């Protein structure tokens, strides 16, 4: 148990013990008060009975009064004093089972009265007086009569209950410590659990352990915060694992993509060093092939550098809104002019603004259009429209489409599916996806109809637009 828990337990034990002891002492005082009230009632009853009995007879002196009182059935807690001009007679019973005791002294001599002893006698008698216990006086004939409580019997009766009271207080203190221990353990359990979990982390055990958090607990927020941190850590570990797996796959794919053109170049260099292909035509063909392979490697490296630069947080920058429809039309028109054998259907709207870098939008439109040229058949449709507050760019072809098993991975780096015989690096769609994400948009592939239809959705910056149609190019 931590020092904080021990301090909390000590403070809680003191508080609970004090409360329990206060309850016991309050109950003891209430019982004492009830006892004093009962004793006062007994004194009044004794006085009333004595006055009624003396009213029927005449007593010559205090001795006769004492003898008369001794013949009555006095209560055990009562004491009667008779006074005349010369004599003082005290009548009392030390125990209920014993006969009354009568002491005769000269008036003013108090040695015959019962007197309590002990360190607590004054305290008990003072409390009795505070609770309303008083002497009762009567005057009959030439006699003065005092009816009061027997102090010895009173002190003895109260003292007999002190030991049970002390035992009850000790039990209250023990219960206070036990209850405090239980409550403290429950109170600091989330703190202990979090401490134990952090100690496991410090020792090298990084296995996440979720702590059960009771919403009604005082430290539930601590356990909830720890569980939230654990969830974040699990997500970070999962992201790290995915990143590591992606990096391994990336390295493997990049090595594979670069190996082919590099092998071709190295092979031709070896042939040229041996003096082969002295024919100028063959030598020119070799140089052209090496140049093509070099361009392929250069293009692949440029795309990898582009993707890496876009992954960097410093690459994010605000973009001014641009007219998506006009820019898409300007980008697709040269591609259509360069491929007169393919039919293009271009439909755009002006005034649809989106916050995206024009160069990055150029990568998106160019890559999608060139993919439709390489992998698709028939007409290539390029449309720009708006849906609510979204700018939508669609590029569709009428080719064989993409198989269902390739659709989930079509935007992965270096993934080319079944059509590996077509020249390409497998990075075009990865660049498209990252460029759209940088503009807070999304790109999806729809294969529900013939061919492939890529849909780019960008947050629209302005709703004003003017629709215009470009003529179809064929």
Same structural domain, 340 and 220? no
The answer to whether residue 173 is domain-embedded is no
Same structural domain, 340 and 247? no
pLDDT at residue 212, as a whole number: 62
pLDDT at residue 26, as a whole number: 93
DSSP type of residue 93:
-
- What does pTM read for this prediction? 0.45
Find all residues with CB under 8 Å of 97, minimum gap 6, and list them.
none
- The enclosing domain of 251 has a CATH number of 1.10.287.130
Spatial distance between the Cα atoms of 427 and 256, rounded to a whole number of angstroms: 13
118: left (phi over 0), alpha (psi -120 to 50) or beta: left
Same structural domain, 10 and 158? yes
pLDDT at residue 29, as a whole number: 92
pLDDT at residue 346, as a whole number: 87
Show the 3-state SS of 237-252: HHHHHHHHHHHHHHHH
Show the 3-state SS of 341-398: CCCEEEEEEECCEEECCHHHHHHHHHHHHHHHHHHCCCCEEEEEEEECCEEEEEEECC
* Vertex 275: Cα angle to 270 and 280 (nearest 5): 110
The secondary structure element, H or E, covering residue 255 is helix 220-273
Q: Where does a domain end: 164, 195, 221?
A: 164
pLDDT at residue 187, as a whole number: 67
Same structural domain, 254 and 333? no
Q: Where does a domain end: 261, 287, 316?
A: 316
Give the residue from 278, 320, 276, 298 showing the smallest Cα distance to 461.
320
Spatial distance between the Cα atoms of 70 and 64, rounded to a whole number of angstroms: 10
Same structural domain, 306 and 343? no
- The enclosing domain of 364 has a CATH number of 3.30.565.10
The answer to whether residue 397 is domain-embedded is yes
The answer to whether residue 88 is domain-embedded is yes
Same structural domain, 462 and 368? yes
pLDDT at residue 245, as a whole number: 74
The answer to whether residue 197 is domain-embedded is no
Same structural domain, 307 and 323? no
pLDDT at residue 27, as a whole number: 92
Give the residue from 32, 14, 30, 33 showing the smallest Cα distance to 172.
14
Q: Where does a domain end: 164, 197, 220?
A: 164
The answer to whether residue 134 is domain-embedded is yes
The answer to whether residue 199 is domain-embedded is no
Same structural domain, 31 and 159? yes
The answer to whether 465 and 386 are in contact (CB under 8 A) is yes
The answer to whether 297 and 258 are in contact (CB under 8 A) is yes
Same structural domain, 285 and 144? no
The secondary structure element, H or E, covering residue 87 is strand 87-92
The answer to whether residue 212 is domain-embedded is yes
Give the residue from 89, 92, 76, 78 showing the smallest Cα distance to 44.
78
Domain that holds residue 17: 3-164
pLDDT (tens place) for every residue of the chain, 474 residues total:
567 667 777 888 888 889 999 999 999 999 999 999 988 898 888 888 788 877 777 777 777 877 877 776 566 678 888 888 888 888 887 666 677 788 888 887 777 677 777 788 888 888 988 998 898 888 877 788 888 888 888 888 888 888 999 999 999 999 988 888 887 776 666 666 666 666 666 676 666 666 665 555 555 566 667 666 777 777 777 777 777 776 776 676 666 666 667 777 777 777 777 766 666 776 677 777 777 777 767 766 776 676 666 665 555 555 678 888 888 898 888 888 888 888 888 888 878 888 888 888 888 888 888 888 887 788 888 999 888 888 999 998 887 777 777 777 777 766 666 555 555 566 778 888 888 888 888 888 887 777 888 999 998 875 444 444 444 444
Same structural domain, 296 and 352? no
Same structural domain, 12 and 159? yes
Count of structural domains within the chain:
3
The answer to whether residue 221 is domain-embedded is yes
Same structural domain, 349 and 400? yes
> Distances from the Cα of 420 to the Cαs of 288, 352, 414, in angstroms?
23, 37, 11
């Amino acid at each position: 148990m931590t020092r904080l828990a021990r301090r909390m337990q000590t403070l809680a034990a003191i508080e609970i013990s004090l409360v329990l002891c206060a309850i016991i002492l309050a109950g003891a005082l209430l019982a004492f008060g009830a006892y004093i009230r009962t004793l006062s009632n007994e004194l009044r009853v004794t006085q009333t009975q004595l006055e009624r009995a003396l009213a029927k007879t005449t007593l010559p002196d205090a001795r006769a009064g004492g003898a008369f009182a001794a013949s009555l059935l006095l209560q055990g807690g009562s004491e009667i004093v008779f006074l005349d001009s010369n004599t003082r007679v005290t009548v009392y019973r030390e125990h209920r089972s014993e006969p009354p005791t009568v002491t005769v002294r000269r008036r003013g001599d108090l040695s015959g009265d019962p007197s309590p002893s002990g360190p607590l006698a004054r305290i008990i008698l003072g409390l009795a007086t505070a609770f309303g216990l008083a002497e009762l006086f009567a005057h009959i004939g030439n006699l003065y009569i005092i009816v009061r409580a027997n102090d010895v019997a009173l002190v003895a009766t109260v003292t007999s209950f002190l030991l049970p009271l002390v035992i009850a207080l000790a039990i209250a203190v023990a219960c206070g410590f036990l209850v405090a221990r239980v409550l403290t353990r429950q109170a600091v359990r989330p703190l202990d659990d979090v401490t134990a979990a952090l100690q496991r982390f410090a020792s090298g055990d990084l296995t996440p352990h979720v702590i059960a958090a009771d919403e009604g607990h005082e430290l539930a927020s601590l356990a909830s915060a720890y569980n939230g941190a654990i969830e974040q850590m699990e997500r970070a570990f999962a992201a790290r694992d995915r990143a590591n797996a992606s990096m391994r796959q990336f390295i493997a794919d990049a090595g594979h993509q670069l190996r082919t053109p590099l092998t071709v170049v190295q092979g031709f260099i070896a042939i040229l060093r041996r003096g082969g292909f002295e024919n100028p035509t063959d030598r020119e063909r070799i140089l052209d092939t090496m140049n093509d392979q070099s361009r392929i490697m250069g293009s692949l490296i440029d795309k990898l550098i582009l993707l890496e630069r876009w992954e960097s947080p410093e690459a994010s920058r605000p973009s001014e809104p641009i007219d998506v429809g006009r820019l898409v039309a300007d980008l697709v028109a040269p591609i259509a002019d360069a491929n007169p054998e393919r039919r293009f259907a271009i439909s755009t709207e002006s005034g649809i603004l989106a916050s995206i870098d024009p160069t990055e939008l150029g990568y998106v439109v160019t890559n999608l259009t060139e993919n439709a040229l390489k992998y698709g058949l028939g007409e290539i449709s390029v449309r720009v429209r708006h849906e609510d507050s979204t700018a939508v760019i669609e590029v569709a072809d009428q080719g064989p489409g993409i198989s269902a098993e390739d659709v989930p991975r079509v935007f992965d780096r270096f993934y080319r599916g079944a059509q590996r015989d077509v020249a390409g690096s497998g990075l075009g769609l990865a660049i498209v996806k990252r460029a759209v994400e940088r503009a807070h948009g999304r790109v999806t592939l729809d294969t529900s109809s013939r061919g492939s239809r890529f849909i780019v959705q960008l947050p629209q910056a302005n709703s004003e637009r003017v629709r215009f149609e470009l003529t179809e190019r064929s």
